[in-house]
Amino acid sequence: MLSARILFTSIAAAGISCLSTEPARAAGAKPGTVPKPPAEKSPAEKPAPEKEKSVADIAAAIRPSLVKVIQEGRQGVEGLGSGFVLREDGLIATNRHVIGEARRIKVETSDGKVEEVTEVYASDVRLDLAILRIARKDLKPLPLGDSDKLLQGERIVAMGNPEGLAFSVVEGVISEPKRDVEGLPMIQLAVPIERGNSGGPLLDRQGRVLGLLTLKSARTENLGFAMPVNELKKLIEKPNPVPMNRWLTIGVLNPRVWKPVMGAQWSQHAGVVNVQQPGDGFGGRALCLWKAEKPGTPFEAEVAVRLDDEAGAAGLAFCADGGERHYGFYPTGGKLRLTRFDGADVFTWKILNESASDAYRPGEWNTLRVRVDAEHIRCFVNGRQVFDQDDHELRGGDAGLCKFRGTQASYKGFRLGTDLVEKPVDPALADSLRKSMEQFLAGKDTRDKVMESLLADPALGHRVLDERRKALEQSAASLRDLEADLHRGAVGRELARLLAEPDEKIDLMRCALLVSLHDNPDLDIETYLREFARMVDELKGDAEIAKGTLPAVRRLTNYLFEQNGFHGSRNDYDSRSNSYINEVIDDREGLPITLSVIYLELASRLGVKNVAGIPLPTRFMVGYREKAEGEFSLLDVFDGGKPLTLAEAREIVSPDGNIPTESTKAAAKKEIILRMIRNLLGRALQSSDAPKEAGPYFNLVLAIDPQAFRERVTRARLREVSGNPEGAAEDLAWVLEHPPKELDAPQRLAIKDWLEKLRGQ
What would the DSSP string read from start to end of 680-729?
A: HHHHHHTSTTHHHHHHHHHHHHHHH-TT-HHHHHHHHHHHHHTT-HHHHH
pLDDT per residue as tens digits for the range 521-549: 989 999 999 999 999 999 998 999 999 99
Final residue belonging to a domain, choices 194, 213, 243:
243
Give yes or no for residue 100 having a pLDDT over 80: no
- Same domain flag for 282 and 206: no
User: Would you state the pLDDT for residue 357?
Assistant: 94
User: Would you state the pLDDT for residue 727?
Assistant: 92
In a domain, 36, yes or no: no
In a domain, 98, yes or no: yes
Q: How confident is the model at residue 111 (pLDDT cuts 50, 70, 90)?
A: confident
pLDDT per residue as tens digits for the range 179-207: 888 788 899 988 766 655 788 899 999 99
The CA distance from 132 to 93, in Å, is 6
- Same domain flag for 90 and 142: yes
pLDDT per residue as tens digits for the range 41-64: 444 455 556 788 888 888 888 889
Final residue belonging to a domain, choices 384, 417, 450:
417
Supply φ then ψ for residue 455, to 5 degrees: -70, -10
Nearest to 80 by CA among 64, 103, 113, 55: 103
- Same domain flag for 288 and 156: no
Give yes or no for residue 255 having a pLDDT over 90: no
User: Would you state the pLDDT for residue 218?
Assistant: 44
pLDDT per residue as tens digits for the range 321-338: 999 999 999 999 989 999
In a domain, 600, yes or no: yes
Domain count of the fold of the chain: 5
Give SS3 for 516. Answer: helix
Give yes or no for residue 281 having a pLDDT over 70: yes
User: Would you state the pLDDT for residue 315?
Assistant: 98
* DSSP E strands, 321-365: 326-332, 335-341, 349-355
pLDDT per residue as tens digits for the range 666-716: 999 999 999 999 999 999 998 878 888 999 999 999 999 999 999 999 999
- Same domain flag for 265 and 232: no
- Count CA atoms within 13 Å of residue 127 on its CB side: 21
Percent share of the chain, pLDDT over 90: 53
Residue with more model confidence, 93 or 661 = 93
Give yes or no for residue 35 having a pLDDT over 70: no
Q: How confident is the model at residue 75 (pLDDT cuts 50, 70, 90)?
A: low
- Same domain flag for 170 and 222: yes
In a domain, 162, yes or no: yes
CB atoms inside a 10 Å sphere around CB 367: 17
Nearest to 334 by CA among 303, 351, 313: 313
CATH code assigned at 281: 2.60.120.560
Burial of 654 (0-12, 13-18, 19+ CB in 10 A): middle
Tell me if 273 sits within 8 A of 253, measured CB to CB. Answer: yes
pLDDT, the chain, mean: 85
- Same domain flag for 538 and 411: no
Q: How far is CA 228 from the centre of its chain?
A: 34
In a domain, 351, yes or no: yes
In the chain the first and final C-alpha atoms are separated, in Å, by 66
User: Would you state the pLDDT for residue 687?
Assistant: 83
- Same domain flag for 232 and 328: no
The CA distance from 137 to 32, in Å, is 12
The CA distance from 365 to 328, in Å, is 18
Burial of 282 (0-12, 13-18, 19+ CB in 10 A): middle
The 10 Å CB-count burial string (b at 16+, else e) for 499-516 is: beeeeeebbbbbbbbbbb
**What does each C-alpha distance from 134 to 523, 527, 652 come to in angstroms?**
35, 34, 40
Q: How far is CA 741 from the centre of its chain?
A: 42
User: Would you state the pLDDT for residue 4?
Assistant: 32
Domain holding 715, by residue range, is: 706-760
- Same domain flag for 190 and 108: yes
User: Would you state the pLDDT for residue 464?
Assistant: 74
In a domain, 35, yes or no: no
The CA distance from 602 to 335, in Å, is 47
Q: What angle do CA 272, 277, 281 make, to 5 degrees?
A: 105
Give yes or no for residue 421 having a pLDDT over 60: yes
Can you tell me the mean pLDDT for 475-484?
A: 75
CATH code assigned at 23: 2.40.10.120
Can you tell me the mean pLDDT for 588-614?
A: 96
Cα-based torsion angle of the residue sequence 756, 757, 759, 760 in order, rounded to the nearest 10 degrees: 110
* DSSP E strands, 182-245: 184-190, 201-204, 209-217, 224-228, 242-243
Q: What angle do CA 519, 277, 330 make, to 5 degrees?
A: 70
What does the DSSP 8-state code read for residue 136? -
Q: How far is CA 423 from the centre of its chain?
A: 35
> Which range (75-79, 301-305, 330-334, 614-618) has the least confidence?
75-79
The CA distance from 707 to 714, in Å, is 13
User: Would you state the pLDDT for residue 597?
Assistant: 98
The catalytic residue positions are: 97, 128, 198
Q: How confident is the model at residue 274 (pLDDT cuts 50, 70, 90)?
A: very high
- Same domain flag for 193 and 118: yes
- Same domain flag for 284 and 310: yes
pTM tops 0.85, yes or no: no
Cα-based torsion angle of the residue sequence 270, 271, 272, 275 in order, rounded to the nearest 10 degrees: 100
In a domain, 115, yes or no: yes
Find all residues with CB under 8 Å of 45, minimum gap 6, and list them.
none
In a domain, 64, yes or no: yes
User: Would you state the pLDDT for residue 220?
Assistant: 47
- Same domain flag for 161 and 221: yes
Give yes or no for residue 242 having a pLDDT over 50: yes
**What does each C-alpha distance from 509 to 243, 379, 516, 585, 601 come to in angstroms?**
31, 36, 11, 11, 7
The CA distance from 472 to 491, in Å, is 27
The CA distance from 295 to 318, in Å, is 9
Q: How confident is the model at residue 74 (pLDDT cuts 50, 70, 90)?
A: low
User: Would you state the pLDDT for residue 429?
Assistant: 78
pLDDT per residue as tens digits for the range 205-232: 999 999 998 876 544 455 788 999 999 9
The CA distance from 595 to 181, in Å, is 33
The CA distance from 269 to 102, in Å, is 14
User: Would you state the pLDDT for residue 17?
Assistant: 32
User: Would you state the pLDDT for residue 494?
Assistant: 97
The CA distance from 10 to 170, in Å, is 20
Burial of 131 (0-12, 13-18, 19+ CB in 10 A): buried
Residue 197 amino acid letter: N
- Same domain flag for 346 and 204: no
Final residue belonging to a domain, choices 243, 273, 291:
243
β-partners of residue 70 are 80, 106
